[in-house]
Chains A and B, each alone.
Chain A
Amino acid sequence: MKRRLKEVVIRRLKLKDTWVICFALGLVMMNYPFISIFNKSTLPFGIPLLYLYLLIGWVFSIFIVYLFSRAAGHESESGGEP
């Protein structure tokens, strides 16, 4: 089950479409109006909300690209399976 899920994820991550969707999604999430949700002067964990949001979003997107590059490297291993 876990294996199958992994395969499905890898296959999706290899699609050019997925990259484009993530790109567009990232663009939306960093611009108005989406970003206005976090544009408040609160300090969760003592850190300004917007700053925190951008940092966490940043780490998250680096992680996603990392997954992409892992999937692209997988080419040879999962290429033969249906």
Chain B
Amino acid sequence: MSLTGKDVADRLEALHLPHNIRETMRSELSSVELSEEQLEAIVSQVEEDYRHSMVEPCEAVGVVAAQSIGEPGTQMTMRTFHYAGVAEINVTLGLPRLIEIVDARKIPSTPTMTIRLTEEYAHDRDLAREVAWAIESTSLLHLGSIATDLAEMNVIIELNPSAMEQRKITVEEVADSLREETGLAVDQKDGSLVMAPEEPSYRDLLQLVEKIKKISLKGVEGIKRVVIRKEGEEYILYTEGSSLRKVMEFEGVSPGRTKTNNINEIGEVLGIEAARNAIINEATDTLREQGLSVDVRHIMLVADIMTVDGEVKQIGRHGVSGEKASVLARAAFEVTVNHILDAAVRGDVDDLKGVTENVIVGQPIQLGTGDVKLVARR
């Protein structure tokens, strides 16, 4: 007597098992004939093994997670720069990157984005390049050269027509944005632009040159470079510099598949859950790149403690550790004296629930076997 596919599916549906296990059972069992006894045997064994694999209550998962991430840190390289994926773009990797993630820095030392394109743009090199030019922040140096004429006390900008063509920008547009940014008059003289500082002084002239060099004429500010790479079937854009909110709005960019390595930016644009996932992904990638295997569960716990409050908090004195409930735990971490003085003024009460506090007062900690409140009856 064999069961119908629906019976099996219903039975599996009722199980309290993680998604991936259920899915595996479904796909494995869909193609075979099996009896009720067999199904029951499988189900009970899978359930038993799953139960066996569960964490035990009172387990100090925090410490285990911290150690599992900290210990491989000793084996990581310090080499800050390396090329990940694309040879043209430098990315911070290894221990410095891991520290950066855990520090919840506002801006990472090498912000980059991986931009994937929508269906129609992704397979066409020219369209992809168009998006790239549109995103890349264009400065005058990309379009031509800047020269100073000390006799006339003015700045001459020679524009290269082919570069302008490539980046789809006209002389008028350049002149307009220069006018807007500097507030100075811009004269057009056959393909070149001429500007002069308000006061004809040598210093102002040089300052003006520096200033107009930095002006972003087109594209997203902060994105210094865009590199196109073909991966598999589709073209992917890698950028130096990051601006998720603006890039996501570009025509041709697939917002759901575009990411940045700036965790705080993700938190601001997409919300805290996205930031949590970003922490997990970034940390996992960093560790994997170094050839170190760390279970996701440990990284998840770190990501969760960093984001429980709804904002990305640093692991350390200005974040998680600095906001602990216990005065003694905070004092034992960093800035000892200030914590004690503040606690005195506030009249804080330390409930002695954490690890450090109990070690300090010399009693068993309330974790693991220390958390079992069983006393033998005499």
Decide whether A and B assemble into one complex: no
Instruction: List B residues at the A interface (Cβ < 8 Å).
Output: none
